[in-house]
Each structure stands twice: as structure tokens, then as C-alpha cells.
């Protein structure tokens, strides 16, 4: 839900001006207030999808709930984002991508937000655990257990 709240913040405030979004990987005081206003209702609406190990994967299919917040999710494959080693940069005009990665055992995962692409450094990832921005090379996101959900504004 934290990644989803970050995605909503991206849509509400930045409208894709990626350079300004948590530019150092941190959320400033204004963003924190706005972020809390977003996160609390998301947690309430998705309470049945949050367990002791975090947010369940099937939460991302609940566009009926997401539309209540002006959002919708579209599941993507790695090939939707990177095809023939070329990154589809246009996808980030629609919204950030929630990226679910599994650990090496395959059962505990972590959600992060891909907000753009830098030609030299790789994908720009905001990790909701509060770390600085992470840059990841495209092929490192290509794994069998990885899932991608484009979070875009809800269509009418």
C-alpha cells in the first residue's frame, strides 16, 4: 500500500514530472502530509488484502477499489517494458510501475515503485522502505517471480 500511495502522490502532485518526485529518495514534509492523507484510506479500503507478510498480490486486480481513488492498475510483462533490449520510455508518461520482486526463496516479496528510466543508470526506483533512489539495469528486473503493475489514472 505504501508503493500505491507513492503512485497516487505521483499522479496527484507531479503528473509525471519525474525529476521532482522524491528526488533524493525521501519524502519531504509537505509530501508526508499528503502521503498520510492518501495512505490511510488506501489501507482501510484494502484491509482484506493486507496480511502479516504485507500486501497480497491479488490486491492489484481490484480496479473497483482503485477507481475509488482515481486510479487503475494494468498488469504488465517484462516485454511490455523492455523489448529487444530497448526500454519503452513512453510507459512512464502514463504512470509509475509497482514492481514486486520475490526473495531467493520465492515466498517473501517487496514492492517498489519504478518512476522512470535513466539511459546511463537504468530504471529509477523509489523504494518505500525509505532508502535513497535505486538505479537498476533493465535485465535485472527480468525474473520469473517478478510482477509489474502500471498505476495510471482511472479511465471513465
Vertex 112: Cα angle to 66 and 106 (nearest 5): 105
Of these ranges, 28-37, 54-63, 71-80, the one predicted with the greatest mean pLDDT is 71-80
Query: Residue range 27-36: average pLDDT?
Result: 76
- Nearest C-alpha neighbor of 80 from the set 71, 88, 72: 88
**50/71: higher pLDDT:** 71
For cell 507531479, what's the residue?
14
Report the 10 Å Cβ neighbour count for 122. Answer: 18
Please give the residue that has the higher pLDDT: either 24 or 111.
111
Range of weakest confidence among 24-33, 75-84, 113-122: 24-33
pLDDT score, position 51: 83
Give mean pLDDT, residues 74-101. 90
pLDDT > 70: percent of the chain:
83
- Are 112 and 3 within 8 A, CB to CB? yes
Domains of the chain: 2-153 (3.90.70)
CA separation for the pair 38, 33 (Å, rounded): 9
Q: Do the Cβ atoms of 3 and 32 come closer than 8 Å?
A: no
| pLDDT number for residue 105 | 47
Q: Supply the mean pLDDT for the chain.
A: 82
> What is the tens place of the pLDDT at every residue in 93-146?
899 999 887 654 445 567 888 888 888 888 888 877 666 678 889 888 888 778
**Is residue 82 within 8 Å of 98, Cβ to Cβ?**
no
Give the pLDDT score at 131.
61
Amino acid at each position: 500500500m505504501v508503493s500505491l500511495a507513492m503512485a497516487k502522490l505521483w499522479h496527484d502532485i507531479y503528473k509525471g514530472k519525474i525529476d521532482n518526485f522524491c528526488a533524493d529518495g525521501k519524502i519531504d514534509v509537505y509530501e508526508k502530509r499528503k502521503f498520510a492523507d492518501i495512505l490511510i484510506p488506501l489501507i482501510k479500503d484494502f484491509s482484506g488484502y493486507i496480511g502479516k507478510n504485507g500486501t497480497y498480490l491479488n490486491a492489484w486486480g481490484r480496479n473497483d477499489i482503485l477507481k475509488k481513488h482515481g486510479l487503475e492498475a494494468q498488469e504488465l510483462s517484462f516485454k511490455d517494458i523492455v523489448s529487444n533490449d530497448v526500454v519503452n520510455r513512453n510507459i512512464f508518461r502514463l504512470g509509475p510501475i509497482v514492481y514486486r520482486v520475490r526473495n531467493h526463496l520465492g515466498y517473501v516479496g517487496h514492492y517498489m515503485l519504478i518512476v522512470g528510466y535513466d539511459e546511463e543508470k537504468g530504471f529509477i526506483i523509489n523504494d518505500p522502505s525509505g532508502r535513497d533512489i535505486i538505479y537498476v539495469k533493465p535485465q535485472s528486473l527480468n525474473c520469473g517471480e517478478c510482477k509489474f503493475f502500471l498505476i495510471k489514472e482511472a479511465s471513465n
